[in-house]
């Protein structure tokens, strides 16, 4: 059948539908307009590839300033109530509870307790938790300001390294406490020769060094970037998609394996062995069961969600591509810091000596003050009304 010549505006309907479908397929749905302001600068976005760990952003250098570009959907997540309200409120609660409780624990353990192996481990655990709470005000201001970091690149790197370092240092110290109890109960005679305060101090020094080495890469990589189209500077939550892609994948996988999964297995083995030894000797073991359940519950409840989300983040292609799970990861990371508040109560629950020293120290001060006040009232002449105002 002969086909006539097609004039303008007389294209077949099927061809028009094919052209429209092709246009929809080639359009990019992933990135919206990055800024409400018009600009004459030509911003080119590279090919999308997975970015481990953080929300992926595209780098763009404009007027000699390197910015990160984010789609509007991701930017709205960073500015949501979960990020700028819930997360800083959680950190504020941890700071208000953890600072006084860990300071009190550190003071009692350092000045009023006999220097045993368990005391050395608990002392270092209190120090790690206290350092973690001292970093939280920076993160609180950061999130309350709408993900804006005003403290500079140096403090961004340092606070990030301190945050992760002290958090995983607490896990390693809890592991040492479980191993110390395992040696004391299961191998009391064999471990007597090396279970000394000096050995515990050396183990704690090794743990601090290990935590410093594990978090050193965070201090060597740029962590803060200004966000294009917004007057904010992001710290650690958004990283360039193409920069150090393989590094962060292997780094955080190694961090999870060495500072969470391995310690969890060691603690399970240690405490299960302690319970088995106590059951075999016929001693009363209800207290040990409660203690074991408490310590393991703390570790699983506070640290497992964030580490599991991080592993799922690595295994999910869409998550690595767009950072869909990262807001949930930030919430679970804030929940994990509640461990620093729970540790002092574990000290109180574990050690009757610790409870007695706190009670004696606090009540002795109140009794001494009451006694001195009573003595002064009985021995000194009554003050005049003028003196009572001083």
Nearest to 75 by CA among 141, 148, 151, 154: 148
Per-residue confidence (pLDDT) for residue 364, from 0 to 100: 63
Cα 109 to Cα 173: distance, rounded to the nearest angstrom:
15
The rounded Cα 67 to chain-centroid distance in angstroms is 26
- What 3-state DSSP class applies to 55? strand
pLDDT band for 98, please (50, 70, 90 cuts). very high
pLDDT tens-digit map of 257-287: 888 889 989 988 988 888 888 777 766 667 7
Per-residue confidence (pLDDT) for residue 154, from 0 to 100: 92
Nearest to 347 by CA among 170, 188, 202, 207: 170
Residue that the structure tokens 């000394």 belong to: 196
Q: Which domains does the chain have, with CATH numbers?
A: 72-360 (1.20.1070.10)
Please state, rounded to an integer, the average pLDDT across all residues of the chain.
75
Nearest to 267 by CA among 128, 173, 165: 173
pLDDT tens-digit map of 66-97: 888 877 777 777 788 888 899 999 999 999 99
Supply 235's token pair: 């710290």
Helices in 66-196 by DSSP H: which ranges?
72-78, 81, 87-111, 117-144, 153-186
Supply 107's token pair: 């003071």
Nearest to 188 by CA among 273, 253, 108: 273
> In this predicted structure, which of 129-133, 147-151, 181-185, 297-301 has the lowest mean pLDDT?
297-301
pLDDT tens-digit map of 146-196: 889 999 999 999 999 999 898 889 989 989 988 998 998 889 888 888 899
Nearest to 340 by CA among 112, 148, 121, 163: 163
Q: Supply the Cα-derived Rg of the chain in whole angstroms.
A: 29
């Amino acid at each position: 059948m002969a086909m006539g010549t097609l004039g303008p505006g007389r294209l077949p309907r099927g061809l028009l539908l094919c052209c429209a479908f092709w246009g929809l397929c080639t359009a990019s749905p992933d990135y919206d307009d990055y800024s409400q302001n018009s600009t004459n600068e030509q911003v080119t976005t590279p090919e999308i590839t997975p970015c481990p760990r953080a929300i992926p952003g595209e780098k763009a250098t404009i007027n000699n300033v390197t910015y990160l570009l984010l789609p509007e959907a991701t930017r709205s997540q960073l500015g949501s109530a979960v990020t700028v309200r819930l997360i800083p409120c959680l950190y504020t609660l941890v700071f208000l509870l953890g600072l006084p409780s860990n300071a009190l624990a550190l003071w009692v353990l350092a000045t009023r307790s006999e220097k045993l192996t368990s005391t050395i481990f608990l002392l270092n655990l209190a120090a790690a938790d206290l350092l973690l709470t001292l970093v939280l005000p920076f993160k609180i201001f950061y999130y309350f300001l709408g993900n804006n970091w005003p403290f500079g690149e140096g403090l961004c790197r340092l606070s990030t390294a301190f945050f992760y370092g002290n958090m995983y240092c607490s896990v390693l110290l809890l592991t040492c406490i479980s191993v110390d109890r395992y040696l004391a109960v299961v191998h009391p005679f064999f471990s007597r020769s090396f279970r000394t305060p000096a050995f515990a101090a050396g183990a704690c020094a090794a743990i601090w060094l290990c935590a410093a080495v594990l978090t050193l890469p965070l201090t060597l990589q740029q962590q803060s970037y200004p966000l294009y189209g917004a007057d904010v500077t992001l710290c650690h939550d958004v990283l360039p998609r193409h920069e150090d892609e393989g590094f962060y994948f292997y780094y955080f996988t190694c961090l999870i394996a060495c500072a969470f999964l391995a310690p969890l297995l060691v603690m399970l083995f240690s405490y299960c062995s302690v319970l088995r030894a106590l059951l075999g000797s016929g001693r009363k073991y209800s207290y040990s069961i409660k203690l074991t359940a408490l310590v393991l519950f703390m570790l699983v409840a506070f640290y497992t969600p964030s580490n599991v989300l991080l592993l799922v983040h690595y295994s999910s292609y869409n998550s690595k591509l767009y950072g869909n799970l990262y807001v949930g990861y930030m919430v679970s990371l804030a929940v994990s810091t509640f461990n620093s508040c729970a540790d002092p109560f574990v000290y109180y629950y574990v050690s009757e000596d610790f409870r007695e020293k706190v009670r004696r120290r606090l009540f002795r001060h109140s009794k001494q003050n009451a006694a001195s006040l009573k003595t002064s009232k009985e021995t000194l002449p009554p003050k005049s009304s003028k003196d009572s105002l001083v």
